[in-house]
Structure 1
Amino acid sequence: MLQSVRTDDGLRLWACREGDPAGTPLVLCHGGPGLWDMFGDVTALLGELAAVHRWDQRGCGRSAPCDGPWTTARFVADLDAVRAHFGLGRMVLLGHSWGAQLALSYTLAHPERVETLIYVSGTGIGPDTDWHPGYKDGLLARLSQEPRRLARWQELRARGSLSEDEARESAVLRWTVEFEDRARALEHAERMADPWFPVNLACNVALNEERKRTWGTPELAAACAALDVPALIVDGARDIRPRSAVDSLERALPRVRRVVLPEAGHHPWVEDPEGFRDAVARVL
């Protein structure tokens, strides 16, 4: 069921509800920043257990174009508009990658509205230095396994501007690094880009810069330590972002369980669907 959610500042957000309407309310927060919902596979895995709510974040994907504002506070308010639109008093909130950071930020702001936080493939609550250098090294190492892909990606990066087809190609090449199964990495990355929408680069830059200023602080760690909401952390052990970065969040949260899927990368539901479903089903 497709929906059009109106935010308090009048912006239209794309959203939909699928799965079992009588199931546990589950709201998904996609990664990015600046991307769009790619949770079709997650909905297929969990739809028998939950009423699955998906949405495209502000200015991204199928949501209305806009000029921001690009702040976590604004995105938290947009997420609350989605919750209110569907009449959800409390929800299980699942975020992936940047969406895991958004889901955590929402839970810190509105703990009374979150039944359980599911934090998938995030990067913890420390500074970017905990994970970003390792991510860059891992990206180049995986791309280097396919020299022609690496050369083409570097060629596209070096250009001043790209056509939409070239932008899609560049993104797909970069996304191949997210998968441990190198034989199927291009196939998986192509599926992420279908459908394709322009990446919102202004959104990406602004929110990443905000994270650099606000993450890794004693205040954030203290807020997580005081959070009285159950949390599940799900990692793919083969994610190129160092999983040790997430230890900071695991140490801080008082009610947390962590599941590491040993053969999965950044999108664990793709490479270990049974393990991912089993981990989340215990919450649902």
Structure 2
Amino acid sequence: MNLATVSGVSGEEAVVVGEQGVVRVADVVADAPTTVLALLESGRADEVLAAAESTPVDSYAPLDSVRFTAPYRRPHKIWGIGLNYVDHAGDLSESVPEEPASFIKADHTVIGDGDPITIPRQSERTTAEAELGLVIGRECRDVAEADALSYVFGVCTILDQTAEDILQRNPRFLTRSKNFPGFFSFGPQLVPMSSLGDFADDLGDVEVATIHNGRVHRRNTVAHMRYSPAHLVAFHSQVMPLYPGDIISTGTPGAVVIESDDVVECDIPGIGRLRNPVA
């Protein structure tokens, strides 16, 4: 059972997604929050997922009858990680730094599955990067690496965009190059750590692929990251508190240049596939 948000005539609302289809959170637990972010912040996400297991099948709608959107629009923080795969750093003729190379994206960048990525007029070379996302499930501060993944509610697929030509002019332009509208797509579903089985131990066997116009541009496994997901959570919790719904985008196996009318995807077997057209 996963969490997601669908868009309908009454707006966006949280749903539980299972093999039998989708069911509104409000139809699973009547007094539960009706947004995914509020579920995480209230600590009631696991309760809702457990209750959905016993919800009658006829309460579920078919998957193809709904439109998934971003799981939520207003996370407290989005941490992005650069140069975390050694192979990707080699693409850019850069060395992997001795500490995580991180940056923050604002929530106006958030879009969901199927929404267009708009290339900004200020950029002539924009890239898209498929990444594994970590979604924080409970507040953590100064946590040890050994305990870090216990603070992660779940994982998701992400497409992180960069105005690369702006960044190449000066590395101090990183924030600007990463923060145009539509530069952070995530979802369509949040997959709880509790449902990942052997993957959940360290996420090392998870494979991430950047797909460009139907072809795999680059793929790699999390085990080839310089800094593991657990290390990233622990490291950033020592910088500032991480709150429920905060997202850590863990780095890409490879960025691809995108142009108008392209389609770019993040594919992570066992977790999901995220697809966005380019405008």
Using the size of structure 2 for normalisation, the TM-score is: 0.26
Larger RCO (CA within 8 A; separation ≥ 6): 2
Using the size of structure 1 for normalisation, the TM-score is: 0.26
More helix by share: 1
